[in-house]
Chains A and B, each alone.
Chain A
């Protein structure tokens, strides 16, 4: 079931000198089992948008529909929105409070009436998917480094196995392996468990690699939406709007501008390099 936003607007500190319109008339459609990327400069409204979709903030106007029910419906105690949507906040390490790594991840499952075996299975699989091995289970949470804490916080959301997961800059502060592992797992969770996701990030490279479609926010307005090909087709416009494309995509656009006939999706380095080599051969012949 999709998540739909219709003409959603939000203003911070309304009727004060700090009043600031954070979102203006946002229309958005997150299809079934889709991964949606949200790009935009700092202060463009990305985090606000996530908070609106999960009901943490109430919009000034507009409508949010989740699985065919208005978000207001989820305020009633009978249906909890957080059974449907898991959120990994911007600074997830600040949500950690249990003593051991295992207990931290298991915490969210306490009220779910699961058997101890099922809890263990879920916790182990969640920790595995963020690269925290058995050695970590009994580690004291405050002895972890910030990168490890981040992995732990992500695991404690993955363990809930919700229908949707929203990530707010999930890879900030992770090392290369941590990032690669997390992104691979995001793809896998989406493909195998059909979990719908929204990822907010500053790094278009990782979003283009995993998302089915990406939107661009600027000053609270959604000014572009499309798949990678559409983004490349609108390279000039988006660059003019302050978008910085990944270098590999810049190269593709630059070579196209110089007359190279590069075609195809070219989501990652390997694909870009392969297309360039093919095209180079064509030109040389």
Chain B
């Protein structure tokens, strides 16, 4: 379980407090989406999960381990995988398979185990044919997938992803999400997923919205019905929900917001 209690954070304490009195719990196996405007503190919040940043007040506990205790950081970082928004800042090795193996080598795993995990992780992101390629020669989206594989190979219990699909094409987004969803089901992987695209988090158990230094906890269905609120928060509703909203402005339609697929909406309109 991840527990934030009364966390406060600021980069320049005397000037501006970015996060204030933030408390929440995330249970194992949950999929929590984090939404919010640019500069609302999403990436800052993400960095508090594994002790890359430490709270000014309050504490962050991962399975009871405190990120403020330097002796517990190693254990915390093995549990919490972290994906940075810009893959170029995360890639260090000169070959894809070395990149994915890097963390595993540092954990001192046996060679066979490392090989098997690297293969499996690259397959999960459909990059198994690029094992011998230098990451620097890959496209932005491919680099992003390599970073994701690097984390998956560690078999983390929790995974914090800061805009993991910003450079992927729509088909790849669907693939990566499907992979993450299946790992959630198989391993009980807990996902903390930062994004600007509501479309990607339709399966989320909970949605955290960051605004005015606080985190508000919502369910997705609540949000979809209040589209004006969502837009006011600087968040774009899924395409289908936007269409339903516009159609429902016309009194003869009463289309339920549970509809999220094209086929279902077409079926409804053709009744």
Contacts and interface: CB of A to CB of B under 8 A. Distances in A.
Contacts of B134: 18
A258 B267 CA distance: 10
Interface string A198-234: 0000111100000000000000000000000000000
Interface string A265-282: 000011011001100100
B37 A43 contact: no
A199 B126 CA distance: 27
Contacts of B239: 205, 246-248, 269
B227 to A, nearest CB: 11
Contact of B141 (A42, A175, A177, A179): A42
Given A42-B168, A169-B167, A273 B247 contact: yes
A280 B168 CA distance: 36
Nearest to B230: A176
Contact of B140 (A42, A143, A272): A42
Interface in A158-207: 169, 172-179, 202-205
A47 interface: yes
B163 to A, nearest CB: 6
B116 interface: no
Given A202-B170, A248-B239, A145 B133 contact: no
Given A40-B169, A175-B196, A202-B168, A269 B243 contact: yes
A251 B262 contact: yes
Interface residues on A, range: 35 or more
B86 A258 contact: no
Given A42-B172, A273-B247, A146 B85 contact: yes
A91 interface: yes
Contact of A258 (B12, B235, B270): B270
B39 A147 contact: yes
A250 interface: yes
B166 interface: yes
Contacts of B240: 247, 251
Contacts of A204: 170
B11 A177 contact: no
A172 B169 CA distance: 11
Contact of B231 (A47, A176, A254): A176
Interface in B83-141: 85-86, 88, 132-134, 137-141
A148 B39 contact: yes
A244 interface: yes
A145 B167 contact: no
Interface string A138-152: 000001111110010
B247 A143 contact: no
A55 interface: no
A254 B263 CA distance: 8
Contacts of B243: 247-248, 251, 269, 272-273, 276
Given A169-B140, A202-B168, A91 B86 contact: yes
A142 to B, nearest CB: 10
A202 B235 contact: no
Contacts of B265: 251
A80 to B, nearest CB: 27
Contact of B142 (A12, A43, A90, A174): A43
Contacts of B142: 42-43
Contacts of A147: 37-39
B266 A90 contact: no
Given A244-B171, A251-B243, A43 B139 contact: yes
Interface in B32-67: 36-39, 43
A41 interface: yes
B236 interface: yes
Contacts of B196: 173-176, 179
10 contacts: A18-B134, A91-B88, A147-B38, A169-B140, A176-B234, A179-B236, A203-B170, A247-B243, A269-B239, A277-B253
The 4 nearest A-B residue pairs measured at CB:
A42-B141, A147-B38, A273-B246, A244-B170
Given A42-B139, A42-B172, A202-B170, 14 more contacts: A12-B137, A41-B169, A41-B171, A42-B169, A43-B141, A145-B38, A146-B85, A169-B167, A173-B85, A179-B236, A202-B169, A203-B170, A251-B265, A276-B247
